Amino acid sequence: MSGIMDNFSWLYGKPSCQGRIKVEPEDFIVNENLGFDFAGHGEHFMVKIRKTGENTKYVVNELAKACGVKSRDVSWAGLKDRHAVTEQWLSVHLPGKPDPDLTQFVAEHPGVEVLETARHDKKLRPGDLSGNWFQLRLRDLDQPEAVLERLTHIAAHGVPNYFGEQRFGHSGNNVVKARAWGNDEFRVRDKSKRSFYLSAARSWLFNMILSARIEQKLVHTVMAGDWLQPGSDAGLESGMTGHLVEDVAAAQQAVDDSSWLLTAPMMGDNALPTTGEAEAFEMALVEQEPLLLKLIRDNRMRHERRPLLLKPTDMAWAQEGDQVTVSFSLPAGCFATAVVRELMLEPELEDKENNNENSDQ
C-alpha cells in the first residue's frame, strides 16, 4: 500500500511490483469465522448476510427497520469493507418475538443476501470472532513473478503484524487528532471518536516499535527483557498472556521454532512488562510521541502485548496473466492489508476514507 504506511519498514524490502486492488468489489472477498456454535434458542435472532458494495452500519440500520427494532438492537462481531463482497453475522435482539420475514428486506436491498438465520442466547459484540478468510485479486501487476516470489516468503515466514492504514484514518487524520487531543487543544465527548483516536494512538506506537525492530534486524531476534506470547492463534490477539525473557538463548530457540512469539506494546498507563534492553528500546521510541503517550495515560488505558509477526494460514494463490489471486486466513485483530503491503504498491491510491471500516479484523 502507500501513503501513511510508508512511515513503516517492509519485512522483505519495499516491493518493486505495482498493481491495483479493489477494482471491483469481487476483488476483495471476506468471510467471517465466529469460531463458536449458536445455542439454537434465545432472545437474539442471528442473521448471516452476504453484502456487496455496502457499508456494515448501513445494513445494520436497514435490518433494524425490517425487524421493527432500533439500530442499537442490532450488533455485529466485526466491521467489514464496503468496497468488497463480505459474509458476516449480525444479531438482532428480539425477546419474545418470532423470527421476522426478511423477504422484503432482501428485495429492497439488491446488494444484500440473507444466507442463514439462527437463534442464540447472547448478542454479538465487537471482537466476538476467531478470524476471517480472505480472497484477494491483485490486478494489472507489472511484475507478477515478483509477487509470486514474495508469496513463498510470506507463507514460510509471515508478515509484520501492522495495524492497517484504515486504523489511522484518511491521511493519518486520527493520529493527528489524537496528538491534538493529547495536547489539550480540544475535548472529545463523542464515544466513537474517543475510541477511534485512542486506538489510532496505541496502534501508531505499536507500528513504530515493530518498524524499528525490522529496520534494526531485531524482528526475529530476542532481546534481553523481551516479553513472549504463546505461538498459537489465540496468542495473536492483544493481551498479557506470556512471560518475560530471562534466558535469551532458550527464548531464541523457542522463537525460532515458533512455539513462542516476540511482542511489542499496546501502550497503557501502567509500566511495561519488559525489562532491560527491550524496555529501553521500546521506551526510547514511544517517548518520541509524548502527546500520544500522554493521551493514553490520561485515559487510563491498560497495557497489552501484540505479536510482532503474523503468519497467514490456509494460503493459496494462482496467477493468470497480469493478475494473481491469493487466499488466506487471519486471526481476529489482524489486517489483510499487512499482507498486500508486502506484495505490491498501488501507484495512485484512491481516497478510501468512506469505503473502509476496520474491515480486516
Beta-strand runs (E) in the chain: 28-33, 44-52, 74-76, 85-93, 112-120, 131-138, 159-160, 227-230, 243-244, 260-266, 304-307, 309-310, 313-320, 323-331
C-alpha cell at 166: 484504515
What span, in angstroms and rounded, lies between the C-alpha atoms of 82 and 357?
7
pLDDT in tens, 4-57: 999 999 999 999 999 999 999 999 999 999 999 999 999 999 999 999 999 999
Q: Which of 81, 128, 226, 360 is catalytic?
A: 81
Confidence of residue 232 (pLDDT cuts 50, 70, 90): low
27, 74 in Cβ contact below 8 A? no
Per-residue model confidence (pLDDT) at position 192: 87
Residue bearing cell 505495482: 18
Question: First CA to last CA across the chain, in angstroms?
Answer: 17
Per-residue model confidence (pLDDT) at position 1: 41
Determine the Cα angle at 248 with ends 245 and 249, to 5°.
140
Backbone CA torsion sign across 284, 288, 289, 294: positive
87 strand-pairing partners:
31, 50
pLDDT in tens, 107-139: 999 999 999 999 999 999 998 999 999 999 999
Prediction pTM value = 0.91
Which distant-in-sequence residues (6+ apart) come within 8 Å of 234 by Cβ?
241, 331
Amino acid at 352: K
Which distant-in-sequence residues (6+ apart) come within 8 Å of 339 by Cβ?
154, 159, 310, 312, 326, 328, 330
67 to 91, 97, 100: CA distances (angstroms): 11, 10, 6
Q: What is the mean pLDDT of residues 166-194?
A: 94
Domains identified in the chain and CATH numbers: 36-120 (3.30.2350.20), 162-234+241-307 (3.30.2340.10)
Catalytic status, residue 81: yes
Amino acid at 167: R
* Count of beta carbons in the 10 Å neighbourhood of residue 337: 21
What span, in angstroms and rounded, lies between the C-alpha atoms of 96 and 109?
27
Per-residue model confidence (pLDDT) at position 3: 83
Q: Helix or strand or coil: residue 105?
A: helix
pLDDT in tens, 142-157: 999 999 999 999 999 9
Which distant-in-sequence residues (6+ apart) come within 8 Å of 175 by Cβ?
4, 168, 169, 200, 201, 204, 292
- Higher-confidence position of 93 and 240: 93
pLDDT in tens, 291-333: 999 999 999 999 999 999 999 999 999 999 999 999 999 999 9
Per-residue model confidence (pLDDT) at position 238: 61
Which one, of 69, 112, 113, lies nearest residue 91 by Cα? 69
- Tell me the backbone φ, ψ of residue 318, rounded to 5 degrees: -150, 145
